[in-house]
Structure 1
């Protein structure tokens, strides 16, 4: 039986966020198994549009804040500051800490589809954005429709979501009550390890631990030429952030390698407040470090296809697992992982991968020669996908798709 499944994400096709990429793989899996997929996502330009992609009908919703983000491109500096202050105050004085306008936008689009005669069999919202979960829960509880939240980021325990420690303490009780109410209703709650403390504390039968569903076998993208390619082409793509994911260890190691070896390149595709460090490193070592700025996923895949070493940077928060890990292991490429401590969740996950070099960040410079030798020894090696699939069997989209369909087949809601 083919079901009508509505998924909710933040940034989605063609500009996927990390969680958007996760839900994309789940959406593709639903489509491949014969179901009808309707995707609600945030508008990238403040306009409501509808497109079709790979068997998915994608509805882009907007809100006042998303429209303001687009308008800021034409604002002067002072007006931009005023607009940022306005939205900071809105968040501060909203009990949930959420952007309620976005939650309403998701809910209203679900109501619109319902009014058009679409029989929605279930809603699968992704957190973040938590507003998608709220909009989905509000709709499902009204019509007694199964809800399957996908929890990748924390809400009630996420201090950064609430901006300040004191606002987090003030609003945490509200957030926990909301979570409990939503979880009680859900047919199944899917969560990754950073939610583990919550579900150990509040045990429930309708919760299933999963991983980022990114271990999927994909055809190699059409290679795009890298700048001044060499024998060793290492690549990093993702966020670079002074507070959470600093690039200094990676930059220092490759700068040292480049001083004695002209056949090593580090290609960086990134955004974030740490980009200035990358630009300085490129200016100091232009023959080694190549910075491309931010690129779209399809373009990044093309550059990855031309590289032979993948770089992963650890997050300072050891409970956070980067979705990039699962994409990297699925590719089968050699990985150099710059970590902070061995008790990181990401460190434990990568220990299962047979082609990875662990480099502690405070030892990166002194281990530069070791990194260089390892890259030369392994740059042509690849790990067979069957080996990866067995090691990370909980990181495929099938787990979420198959269990949710089984629940629908049995006619269970919560």
Structure 2
């Protein structure tokens, strides 16, 4: 069966979510299916837009609209406050709205990036004749691309995989919430099956989306055996200076996953440490903090997943920052647990969904940012560092504690759901 998968941030610098999804996609290939991936590609990358990786065809679409809007957002962040006025922001963005939005309205076509993906799919489908499409809400625009394809190819089977509470993020204004609910409902209506995290499926079965409950199936994230998956790069060396090596890999977001409380706690440690951050976060406060503390905190903006894993497996402790969204589990904790390394998780909210997954992992320390003094948190972390120095678990030891997340079991459940489409 020819299968098209639409997912964001998959290549060349995959997100933690993309990394957790990869074993599932490879399992389709192992079953004899032919898998093609459609993903966004950074506008200024030198990576080719079509490549074969692990036997899977990856097709990259440059998201020019997001690229230029992000550059404007970064410009706004780094200039005086009056530029942050919404009127000035809209003036700065207007050329790109005119370029991407207005023509789409006139032509009654999907706008910008969605239209580019639709045209790319049409070309790929002439060659591959897809039988099944899987769209993964990372981000939700993947579902909107899938919707446009499904409307034109009604016989194509469509599975949606929901990872983000798109219409139920707490920060949404009421007007946007209604719009997002309508979009998500249309996606569910046209789909053949719905896969989601346990948190989301429970939510959807009890709210306005309950009418689609017969289509719904929950699937856990998997904890992967990275030592088996990759031939790790032993030559990776970041000239670590310090008795303790701390590492983080992933994106930060000011409103959803702000790293500053965690970094300010690390700054107070009396231990001699070195902290490596694999991230491209451009917030001014963050960059100023790194600049002031450049002997202890170092940024690595772009790195392949193999090189990132090869580095992190040498760390003494990994750390993660929780989301402020109650129903969105940070996928990176599953990556971290797969490495069998000690893990510090900074929780931002009382109902942080990551906590229930970490409570059975014996090498985890959860720090609640919302309670207790900085000195108390510093003491807990220093004790954890000293206790966990040079400790790690094999993959088999990890899944003894986390059998539900064994990638072999998750793959089997995934394939069972796919066969129902």
Asked if these proteins are the same fold (TM beyond 0.5), I'd say yes
Q: TM-score range by the shorter chain?
A: 0.7 to 0.9
How far, CA to CA, are the matches of 1:357 and 1:407 in structure 2? 34
Match of 2:351 among 343, 350, 355: 343
Structure 1 length as normaliser, TM-score? 0.80
Structure 2 counterpart of 1:199: 205
Query: Are the equivalent residues in 2 in contact too, given 1:128–1:153 (CA < 8 A)?
Result: yes
Corresponding residue pairs, total: 394
Structure 1 counterpart of 2:122: 111
- Cα shift at 1:217: 4.0
RMSD: 3.7
- Structure 2 matches for 1:3-402, cutoff 5 A? 3-45=1-43, 49-62=49-62, 65=65, 82=91, 84-86=93-95, 100-116=111-127, 118-140=128-150, 142-158=153-169, 165-182=173-190, 185-194=191-200, 196-201=202-207, 202-203=209-210, 204-219=213-228, 221-223=232-234, 224-258=236-270, 261=271, 263-274=272-283, 276-277=285-286, 279-280=288-289, 283=292, 285-287=293-295, 289-298=296-305, 299-361=307-369, 362=371, 363-395=373-405, 402=412
- Cα shift at 1:315: 1.9
How far, CA to CA, are the matches of 1:390 and 1:247 in structure 2? 31
How far, CA to CA, are the matches of 2:321 and 2:68 in structure 1? 33
Q: Which moved more, 1:400-409 or 1:381-390?
A: 400-409
Query: Are the equivalent residues in 1 in contact too, given 2:49–2:60 (CA < 8 A)?
Result: yes
How far, CA to CA, are the matches of 2:180 and 2:70 in structure 1? 31
Judging changes above 3 Å, is the alpha-carbon distance between structure 1 residues 278 and 134 closer, same or farther for their aligned structure 2 residues? closer
Structure 2 length as normaliser, TM-score? 0.79
Q: Is the partner of 1:189 in helix, strand or coil?
A: strand
How far, CA to CA, are the matches of 2:64 and 2:254 in structure 1? 30
Judging changes above 3 Å, is the alpha-carbon distance between structure 1 residues 401 and 337 closer, same or farther for their aligned structure 2 residues? closer
Q: Which moved more, 1:129-138 or 1:83-92?
A: 83-92
Q: Is the partner of 1:205 in helix, strand or coil?
A: helix
Q: Deviations over 1:304-357 (max 9, x none)?
A: 133111111222233321111000011100011222344311111111211111
Query: Are the equivalent residues in 2 in contact too, given 1:41–1:60 (CA < 8 A)?
Result: yes
Query: Are the equivalent residues in 1 in contact too, given 2:65–2:96 (CA < 8 A)?
Result: yes
Judging changes above 3 Å, is the alpha-carbon distance between structure 1 residues 408 and 83 closer, same or farther for their aligned structure 2 residues? same
Q: Which moved more, 1:307-316 or 1:291-300?
A: 291-300
Which structure 1 residue ranges, 5 or more long, are not aligned?
A: none
Query: Are the equivalent residues in 2 in contact too, given 1:140–1:147 (CA < 8 A)?
Result: yes
Which structure 2 residue ranges, 5 or more long, are not aligned?
A: none
